[in-house]
């Protein structure tokens, strides 16, 4: 499998539905999603011909499909892929080649394929499949935004079909919490069970489209509120940190001068 076990078990039916829908959309018509992807790659190539590009997708079949399509373009021979079924040593060898040579321009990766690996030498991410859980997006970005990252900016490209739930989540949920503009910090603490509940509601056939959109809005509002609470908490903590520094300085001065501490000072420090 090319997704971690827990996530796969929790989302098996959802992923199966998404995969079937994706392949059904390709039958008998042009794959507009891929066309836009290729168009973005070519535009990026003109702007930054030396960039190293990572492309994330959920499914091994999607990754293989993209590799097959890209091999027929000017990127032929410059594309590699990694996913969970590939032995870790082979993945590491591919990544080393990606890092140290110009032979690989684009690395296609699943969620598990890039786990535990650093890509600080890359500066471009394509989220070909966009996770509904912002924590997974943060994890993807975090693999590039590591110590040693030489680029001032990491470019993030996201794909979603207009008029779909994916698009609504991208615009309403991700947009509200600014997940692509900055790191949020401990997303897990902010999100809690919000995303799990949202996923369940979205695939509830008894809910109308409007009700599902309202659910997305409600989750976004809850996350923003929780985010503000955490920010306020951090501000309060900073006040105490400042006091600790003051106390430490005073105690250091007392130790240096070896003077006696008055009863008033003892009460103040306590």
141-195 confidence digits (pLDDT tens):
777 765 556 667 778 887 766 666 666 666 655 655 554 444 444 444 445 555 5
86 Rama sector, left if φ>0, alpha if ψ -120 to 50, beta otherwise: beta
Whole-number pLDDT of residue 183? 45
With contact defined as beta carbons under 8 Å apart, do 138 and 162 qualify? no
Which residues are paired to 108 by β-bridges?
Answer: 55, 81
Whole-number pLDDT of residue 120? 76
Whole-number pLDDT of residue 108? 95
Q: Which two tokens stand for residue 220?
A: 């976004």
Whole-number pLDDT of residue 149? 61
Domain boundaries, the chain: 5-159, 185-257
Class (C level, CATH) for 5-159:
alpha beta
- Which helix (H) or strand (E) segment is 61 a member of? helix 60-70
pTM: 0.57
For the chain, what is the radius of gyration of the CA atoms? 24
């Amino acid at each position: 499998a090319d997704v971690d076990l827990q996530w796969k078990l929790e989302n098996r039916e959802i992923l199966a539905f998404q995969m079937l829908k994706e392949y059904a959309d390709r039958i008998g018509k042009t794959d507009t999603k891929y066309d836009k992807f290729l168009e973005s790659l070519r535009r990026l190539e003109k702007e930054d011909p030396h960039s190293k590009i990572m492309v994330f997708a959920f499914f091994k079949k999607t990754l293989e499909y993209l590799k097959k399509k890209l091999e027929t373009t000017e990127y032929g021979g410059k594309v590699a892929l990694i996913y969970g079924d590939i032995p870790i040593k082979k993945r590491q060898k591919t990544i080393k080649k990606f890092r140290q040579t110009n032979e690989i321009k684009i690395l296609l990766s699943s969620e598990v394929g890039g786990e535990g690996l650093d890509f600080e030498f890359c500066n471009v991410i394509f989220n070909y499949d966009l996770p509904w859980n912002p924590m997974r997006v943060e994890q993807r970005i975090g693999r590039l935004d590591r110590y040693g990252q030489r680029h001032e900016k990491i470019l993030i490209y996201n794909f979603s079909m207009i008029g779909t739930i994916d698009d609504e989540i991208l615009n309403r949920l991700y947009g509200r919490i600014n997940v692509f503009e900055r790191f949020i910090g401990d997303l897990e603490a902010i999100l809690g069970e919000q995303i799990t509940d949202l996923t369940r509601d979205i695939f509830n056939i008894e809910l109308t489209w409007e009700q599902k959109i309202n659910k997305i809005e409600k989750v976004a509002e809850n996350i923003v509120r929780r985010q503000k609470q955490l920010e306020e908490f951090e501000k309060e903590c900073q006040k105490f940190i400042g006091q600790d520094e003051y106390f430490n300085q005073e105690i250091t001065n007392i130790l240096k001068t070896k003077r006696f501490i008055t009863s008033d000072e003892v009460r103040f420090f306590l």
